[in-house]
Structure 1
Amino acid sequence: MRTVRRSALIDRPDRPDHPDRPLAEPSALPRRAPLPAHHPEPVLDVVVPVHNEENDLEPCVRRLHAHLGETFPYPFRITIADNASTDRTPGIAARLAAELPGTDWIRLAEKGRGRALHTAWSRSRAPVLAYLDVDLSTDLAALLPLVAPLISGHSDIAIGTRLARGSRVVRGPKREIISRCYNGLLRSTLAVGFSDAQCGFKAVRRDVAERLLPLVEDREWFFDTELLVIAERAGLRIHEVPVDWVDDPDSRVHILETALADLRGMARLGRALARGRLPLSALRRSGGDLAGELPTGLARQVVRFAAVGVASTLCYLLLYTALRPSAGPQAANALALLASALANTAANRRLTFGVRGRGGVLRHHLKGLAAFLVGLVLTSGSLAALHHIAPGAGHRCELVTLVAANLAATLLRFLLFRAWVFPDRSDRRTTGSP
């Protein structure tokens, strides 16, 4: 295996001059293809981003090098990405690069884990790019299952998850609550399907990274999340691997500062998606059959959801009016709501969230019916309240009450549809076990 060493690098400015201007359209991704069985150059480049890690760096890199040498069947490279360390980290990195075959190091003038990964991945020519945290909190036994679907061409990105069934995690309640709240917030605001955005254990195919990296603005801790959200919105396949993970008690992450930066990143990314600033169409076109299942932007989804809602509400009111004389108000409400719910779910599945084909139809309709129970509870409760307050209320009062209740339920239903019914978890995410 060749030892590859390069001179120090300084990251170039990474923010566009005009942040409000849409980004340039990336070229389309090539079709997925497995790597050849015999590859002369390193197939995997594992980046270890570090800042002032003079104590953990050497044991981490030596342990990682020994593990890859024993278990990984292809040539590999380890790249130490030192971002502005002020202790002995640069000297240790240089010595390890000289001593261990297939080890490289780069030095950046500015801090930022995202900046280190962006630089190291941009310069690498390995077909598969990965990174892991220097504390090795994640068991290295999961590394080969992480990169295997990328080598085979099955997936585009792979992430370790501490929140999936089969994961074994040892950490305090504070960090557990923060992690689950963060990922729950992502699901409710950006409708993501992946389970763990911030586990320091990820890999990506280089041809995918070349298209995604120019779209990722953050150079700090939000880098991972932004990359994954853009990839999922582009219809790329994300593979999840449950991991064994032990918390590092010496972690230097500033929780409050990082949390505030992540919230700002979510707001910025949400605005970019809603305004259509991210040029995802080329990546969508390259996704083959996945492209038909790609959700559209938030603004377009809201417009289409509203249009479908107006049509289904009119259908509901017509059915209610036709059924009420024979079935009574409550039964007519339930039957009309059931029929319009089925039609509404089918229309939103195709028109609002862009899901085609027969896959998942039953699951989507069952979840759609569960979401419409919100409407049933609100409308039935409103009718009951109306008849209790004004026993002699006429048909016109009933219709006004039902329209008001449906409007109140519409927002809740849209959030449920976006975050739960059509998040594309099963279509764009695969899971494996270590």
Structure 2
Amino acid sequence: MTLTDSTSGTLQDAAVAPPGLPSGGRAVRRAPVDTRTAVPVLDVTIPVFNEERDLEECLRRLHGHLLDTFPHTFRITVADNASTDGTLKIAERLAREFPEVTVVHLDEKGRGNALRKVWLASPSPVLAYMDVDLSTDLAALPPLLAPLISGHSDLAIGTRLTRNSRVVRGPKREFISRGYNLMLHSLMAARFSDAQCGFKAIRADVAQQILPYTVDNSWFFDTELLVLAERCGLRVHEVPVDWVDDPDSSVDVVRTALADIRGMARLTRDLVYGRIPVPELRAALARGPLPASSRADEQTRRGSLFGQLVRFAAIGAASTLAYLLIFLFCRGFMDPQLANFLALLVTAVANTGANRRFTFGIQGGNPVRHHFEGLIVFGIGLVLTSGALALVHWTTTPDRWAEVLTVLAANLAATAVRFLLFRLWVFRERTPRTHTGGTTIAAQQPVENTEAGTQAPSTETAAS
């Protein structure tokens, strides 16, 4: 990687060396950023690839906005990802015009690759990036940066998927974006609302610790960073944005979505098999949960049987409706047993994720284990519904609606079984046990902290 100095125009090497984990204890709170530092307080990265048409307008608009509204020193870094048009020349010309603009030229393509290298090499305490088309209204930049500078938050993202966001874009992008984020919530227990909005910022002290453990070089980098941040106990601040879709964007939405799904599978494997040292990162970076006494009332409400029944019933009604629609659709061109299997499988995965998050209030822990146990529960439901179908076909020749009533009744019975198994097995409060003087004693704190998304370490030791 080379950096183009904005004043001399010479090239200088930038070494990027991933730091080791600090040996200190848990950092409960972050210190405010020292805004009197000699280096720029803010470094905004603009990743570009063949953007000669939009780059100059973007830089002039962003530079003017920061001069007018940002009260501290700043730098704008153009990360040229192996452009083959005039992008690099335009960036270097503007770097000579504006002392706050710096150009980085990389020989490899990829937004993740560019951000990782530029951020790890940057001396600024606050790092941000945005897309070159400036689809996001720059009025959202101050609220994005303020919690990082104050020490309140560790990472900040713009979101297009909250009720306070104002977004103009086509139905295909809207559907893909919301569907992808629903998968993240269900399968990876993510809590952030928008993974791919090109408008994010992070504290450099945090970035130095977690960026070396990100590996994606393309669009999935955003998701990987956010999931890792949440698993490490960091606070992610969200800012509703005004966002207008760029109709001339060169991004292949479908191809990017498929790559993101593959990235989810790879990241899940990395987390399950321990490639990423999440416990060590949590020990070094996590803010820690609030005192248990301050959340006692909330935990009691979340764990009450009546409240769980109400939430489970609401999710079950939606799941049953989805099951019937999928069954009727598939029954038009396939065997009833196969149609039942597919309808039950799709709704079971979504049902487990929804109940995990809303019925039992679990936001952290091990979603892979929960979904595996949920599939075992799905198998019980499959036996009930398949058995009912087989019985009705053995005793008579049913019409389509007789089949529907049969599987509906069996599915309702399976729902009751599912709730009992969810409450007593899949999502039960697991408590570690300790041995004291040969006597086994149940620990007071649960293994899974359902609100903070943390997992307490096992305290079991061999009896003396």
Structure 1 residues 164-175: aligned runs within 5 Å: 164-175=162-173
Displacement of 1:122 in angstroms is 0.9
**Residues 357-398 of structure 1: CA deviation (Å, up to 9, x unaligned):** 53732552366444554999999x99xx99xx9xxxxxxxxx
Alignment of 1:406 with 2:406, yes or no, is: no
Tell me if the contact between 2:169 and 2:244 (Cα under 8 Å) persists in the aligned partners. Answer: yes
Displacement of 1:280 in angstroms is 1.6
Give the aligned residue type for 1:280: V
Partner of 1:140: 138
Displacement of 1:75 in angstroms is 0.2
Partner of 2:206: 208
CA distance in 1 between partners of 2:129 and 2:81 (Å) = 14
Q: Relative to structure 2, which stretch is displaced further, 261-270 or 409-418?
A: 409-418
Q: Matched residue pairs, number?
A: 340
Give the aligned residue type for 1:365: G
Displacement of 1:3 in angstroms is 5.4
CA distance in 1 between partners of 2:452 and 2:166 (Å) = 22
Structure 1 pair 11–116 and aligned structure 2 pair: CA distance change class (3 A) = farther
Displacement of 1:274 in angstroms is 2.0
Partner of 2:258: 260
Alignment of 1:234 with 2:259, yes or no, is: no
Give the aligned residue type for 1:175: R
Partner of 1:65: 63
Structure 1 pair 170–275 and aligned structure 2 pair: CA distance change class (3 A) = same
Tell me if the contact between 2:49 and 2:82 (Cα under 8 Å) persists in the aligned partners. Answer: yes
Q: CA RMSD in A?
A: 4.0
Displacement of 1:60 in angstroms is 0.1
Structure 1 pair 195–41 and aligned structure 2 pair: CA distance change class (3 A) = same
Give the aligned residue type for 2:211: L
Partner of 1:358: 296
Alignment of 1:7 with 2:18, yes or no, is: no
**Residues 390-422 of structure 1: CA deviation (Å, up to 9, x unaligned):** xxxxxxxxxxxx99963686469988899xx98
Displacement of 1:89 in angstroms is 0.4
Give the aligned residue type for 1:111: K
One of 278, 281, 298 as aligned partner of 1:280: 278
CA distance in 1 between partners of 2:204 and 2:80 (Å) = 21
CA distance in 2 between partners of 1:262 and 1:186 (Å) = 10
Structure 1 pair 409–157 and aligned structure 2 pair: CA distance change class (3 A) = same
**Moved beyond 3 Å, runs of 4+:** 2-6, 8-14, 23-31, 286-289, 366-379, 402-418, 421-427
CA distance in 2 between partners of 1:415 and 1:11 (Å) = 48
Tell me if the contact between 2:160 and 2:194 (Cα under 8 Å) persists in the aligned partners. Answer: yes
Structure 1 residues 103-118: aligned runs within 5 Å: 103-118=101-116
Tell me if the contact between 2:47 and 2:80 (Cα under 8 Å) persists in the aligned partners. Answer: yes
SS of equivalent to 1:80: strand
Structure 1 pair 122–182 and aligned structure 2 pair: CA distance change class (3 A) = same
Structure 1 residues 65-84: aligned runs within 5 Å: 65-84=63-82
Partner of 2:407: none
One of 89, 98, 104 as aligned partner of 2:96: 98
Structure 1 pair 271–98 and aligned structure 2 pair: CA distance change class (3 A) = same
Displacement of 1:255 in angstroms is 1.9
Structure 1 pair 422–196 and aligned structure 2 pair: CA distance change class (3 A) = farther
**Residues 32-54 of structure 1: CA deviation (Å, up to 9, x unaligned):** 10123533320000000000000
Using structure 1 for the length normalisation, give the TM-score.
Answer: 0.68
Give the aligned residue type for 1:196: D
Displacement of 1:283 in angstroms is 2.6
CA distance in 2 between partners of 1:24 and 1:3 (Å) = 31
CA distance in 1 between partners of 2:274 and 2:294 (Å) = 22
Partner of 1:47: 45
Displacement of 1:9 in angstroms is 6.3
Tell me if the contact between 1:368 and 1:417 (Cα under 8 Å) persists in the aligned partners. Answer: no
CA distance in 2 between partners of 1:172 and 1:375 (Å) = 29
Displacement of 1:202 in angstroms is 0.1
CA distance in 1 between partners of 2:299 and 2:251 (Å) = 43
CA distance in 1 between partners of 2:191 and 2:271 (Å) = 16
Partner of 1:195: 193
Structure 1 pair 41–411 and aligned structure 2 pair: CA distance change class (3 A) = same
CA distance in 2 between partners of 1:109 and 1:262 (Å) = 23
Using structure 2 for the length normalisation, give the TM-score.
Answer: 0.64
Structure 1 residues 241-252: aligned runs within 5 Å: 241-252=239-250
Structure 1 pair 290–424 and aligned structure 2 pair: CA distance change class (3 A) = same
- Structure 2 unaligned residues grouped into runs of 5+: 321-376, 392-412, 430-447, 455-464
